[in-house]
Amino acid sequence: MEIREPKPDEAERILEVVDSSMTSSFRLSPQQIDGITDGQFADEAIAEKIDDEDTQLHVVETGEEIEGTIIAGFVEGRLEDEWGEVNWLFVDPEHRGKGIGTELYETATEALRDRGADHVCVTVLEANTEGHQFVERFGLEHDGDRRIEVAGESLVKYVYTDSDIDVELPTESRADESDAETTEFPETETTDGHLTATNDDGKTVYIARDEEESGTAASFHVTYEDEAHEEQYGYYCANCGSLDVSMDNMERLECRDCGNAHAERSKESYDDSHL
pLDDT at 266: 36
Of 275, 243, 247, give the one whose Cα is nearest residue 263: 247
**Lowest-confidence region among 40-49, 149-158, 211-220:** 149-158
pLDDT tens figures, 87-140: 999 999 989 888 999 999 999 999 999 999 999 999 999 889 889 999 999 999
* pLDDT attached to residue 173: 42
pLDDT score of 179 more than 60: no
What per-residue confidence (pLDDT) applies to 270? 39
The greatest distance separating any two alpha carbons of the chain, rounded to the nearest whole angstrom, comes to: 65
pLDDT digits (tens, 9 = 90+) for 37-91: 998 999 999 999 999 999 999 999 987 554 555 899 999 999 987 899 999 999 9
Query: Which residue type occupies 128?
Result: N
Q: Which range has the top average pLDDT, 31-40, 141-150, 257-266?
A: 31-40
**Helix, coil or strand: residue 125:** strand
In order of their start, the domains of the chain are 2-162+169-183 (3.40.630.30), 189-262 (no CATH)
What span, in angstroms and rounded, lies between the C-alpha atoms of 61 and 166?
A: 37
Beta bridge partner(s), residue 155? 148
Q: State the pLDDT at residue 268.
A: 38
pLDDT at 148: 79
Numbers of helices and strands, H then E, in the chain: 6, 15
In DSSP terms, 161 is beta-bridged to 141
> Residues, the chain, total?
275
Q: How far apart are CA 76 and CA 37, in angstroms?
A: 14
* pTM, full prediction: 0.65
What span, in angstroms and rounded, lies between the C-alpha atoms of 217 and 214?
9
In three-state secondary structure terms, 222 is: strand
Give the mean pLDDT of the chain.
85
Phi-psi region of 155 (alpha: psi -120 to 50; beta: other; left: phi over 0): beta
CA dist list (Å): 164 to 22, 139, 141, 143: 31, 10, 9, 11
Cβ contacts of residue 186 below 8 Å, gap of 6+?
A: 238, 239, 240, 241
70 to 22, 67, 88, 213, 229: CA distances (angstroms):
19, 8, 19, 39, 56
Query: In sequence order, what E strands does the chain have?
Result: 2-4, 55-66, 69-80, 83-91, 119-125, 140-150, 153-162, 189-191, 194-198, 204-213, 220-224, 232-237, 245-247, 253-255, 261-262
- Residue 140, φ and ψ in degrees, nearest 5: -85, 150
